[in-house]
Homo-oligomer: A and B are copies of this chain.
């Protein structure tokens, strides 16, 4: 075993320029054989490091450390949870801005970390002790998001989130995203979460015992982040829509820790049926999502978009575009969710 050769590229048939004799120089020729020990197993041939712990010295000073980046914490007012995020390359889309899915994921992440930090979380996705006792889980009923400016890869953003009671039936979560460098607000969002019995799959009232666990963490004085979207579902003939994306199916990796399709997927599915001319020329300025029923592994979905009152052939004439959307089961047309979105032109026109 003079060298560890990587002579596999001969199997890479479409890449004919790769010759087998190139393979000895992966840039990985091992000069100090004492450092490694190769063990072979059935199916997995691996190189084991003799030094099992970190083989490289720790970096003493990070040239690009961001102060305060971490798991987040609750502010002095005891109600607002704050966490910073560094936007990663795979969280941005082809336009280099964070995707709608990432945006929804960050809402989830901070809401959950908030519950974790205040210590009411016992199990699952944000379940309190009393929720576990009563077999209740959180279900998103409605989400509203307004984006002023999208962060891009490499940006550091600060997210503040706080919660309140939603009447007698649930909880409202609020968020504000800020540019960590300038302090400018980037995004505001609000969600309503209600409770469902995990076994019967029926919605439940918010029991006093659960309210008792959460109440002291609810704030009633912090301003709301997003005002209600007052538009109602249009009365247009829905059989006439021409923007449909069929055959959408949740994958294994779309499931969350509750074995449910992650909420963040829905935002992506909505965009799937938006005409490409809109996705390319406009950016999503706001969305309102209303969840109707659960989506499960094995469901085949359709995403339908109704572009409101414009001629999509004359996009240059519009500063913004409004759309209605439905995600439904392909087999029965049962509605999984509906949504409204507003898109603003990328030409620099901002809705005011």
Contact = CB atoms under 8 A, between A and B. Distances in A.
B141 A18 contact: yes
B233 A252 contact: no
14 contacts: A7-B228, A12-B292, A22-B166, A27-B166, A28-B224, A42-B320, A43-B342, A46-B226, A47-B223, A52-B184, A53-B182, A53-B183, A89-B112, A251-B268
Contact of A268 (B5, B15, B248, B253): B253
A30 interface: yes
Contacts of A131: none
A69 interface: yes
A176 B286 contact: no
A248 B252 CA distance: 12
Interface residues of A, dominant DSSP: loop
A167 B255 contact: no
A93 B255 contact: yes
Interface in A21-78: 21-32, 35-36, 38-39, 41-47, 49, 52-66, 68-77
A190 B26 contact: yes
A295 interface: no
A233 B11 contact: yes
A47 B226 contact: yes
B29 A220 contact: yes
Contact of A192 (B26, B53, B72, B153): B26
A192 B308 CA distance: 48
A136 interface: no
B94 A109 contact: no
Interface string A152-193: 011000101001111111011010101000111100101010
A281 interface: no
A352 B40 CA distance: 8
A223 to B, nearest CB: 5
A30 B223 CA distance: 6
The 7 closest A-B pairs by CB, nearest first: A27-B164, A22-B167, A64-B71, A28-B224, A65-B70, A53-B183, A90-B105
